[in-house]
Copies of this chain bind each other. A is one copy, B any other.
Amino acid sequence: MTDGSIAALLDGTLVDPAEPLLRPDDLGVLRGEGVFETTLVVDGHPRDLDVHLVRLAISAQATGLVVPAPDRWRAAVAAVVGAWAGGSQMVLRLIASRGPEHGEPVCYLLGTELPVSSRRQRRSGVRVLLLERGFTVDVGASAPWLLAGAKTLSYGINMSALRHARANGADDVIFIGTDGAVLEAPTSSVVVARGRTLITPPDEAILAGITVRRLFRAASAAGWPVRTERLGTADLHAADGVWLTSSARLLAPVVAIDGRPRSDGGLTGELAELLDMPAA
């Protein structure tokens, strides 16, 4: 296996990630047709696996894809976790590619070492650019064919925005709607603190974040006010802290927006505890 990565089919068969698995006519390749989830496995325990499997099914339904039942995914996850010989934090992807025309979806798992950059950004934070996403926040409801709430393999724009940020001295991106609404990051959700109130944008035209949901549940149980609310860019600048949350990196404080440094209000440590974030 290359660089410690590991892959498995849904029946638990391990396959070499350096060996071809997908046909050249797979619509996952030709058209970015398929869905996926990413979770973090810490010391052999996949985080929020049930919730990821629910969201995978939602994404599959939105794209007209029939994917195997959750139990079959769980068995394959167990096989990958059991065979993992890497570090204590594995990024685990669950992938369903549509397969060839008139064929069956190709479902598999891919486990990789948590990138060093993710560990670093948990501590030292991310500099973000605010980039236009090109749509208004209401497209989720008015135009379901735009798949705003589905996690599909068509992530080209997300990756392009990240490249744009990196080419311009930043690490990450917060997408802004044409109506000025704060949306999400290319691979993360956005959370802000106003005092000790945690706020995230409603999942209207964005993916429902699993890590933000976990954070809000824990914060709420610990007595923090939490709510969803439409946010504008002025709210980002005025907030006492801004974070990106995601399933693998978990939590990264935003330390600069469009080159303008900003504080995390000293709250990152507390939020990391609420998220049960593993030590580096």
Contact = CB atoms under 8 A, between A and B. Distances in A.
The oligomer's copy count stands at: 2
A30 B157 CA distance: 13
Contact of A33 (B30, B36, B136, B159): B159
A154 B36 CA distance: 14
Contacts of A139: 132, 134
A146 B159 contact: no
Interface SS of A by simple majority: mixed
Nearest to A129: B145
Given A63-B163, A134-B136, A145-B161, 8 more contacts: A24-B108, A29-B95, A30-B110, A30-B153, A63-B160, A132-B142, A132-B143, A133-B143
A139 B132 CA distance: 8
Given A134-B139, A144-B164, A156-B152, A22 B26 contact: yes
A7 interface: yes
A247 interface: no
A30 B153 CA distance: 6
Interface string A161-177: 10110000000000000
Contact of A156 (B133, B143, B153): B153
Contacts of A131: 143, 145
B36 A30 contact: yes
A153 B23 contact: no
Classify chain A: how many residues form its interface, as a range.
35 or more
A138 to B, nearest CB: 9
A5 B56 CA distance: 32
Contacts of A42: none
Contact of A17 (B25, B63, B133): B25
B25 A110 contact: yes
Interface in A74-122: 93, 95, 97, 100, 108, 110, 112
5 contacts: A20-B21, A24-B108, A29-B95, A29-B153, A134-B136
A220 interface: no
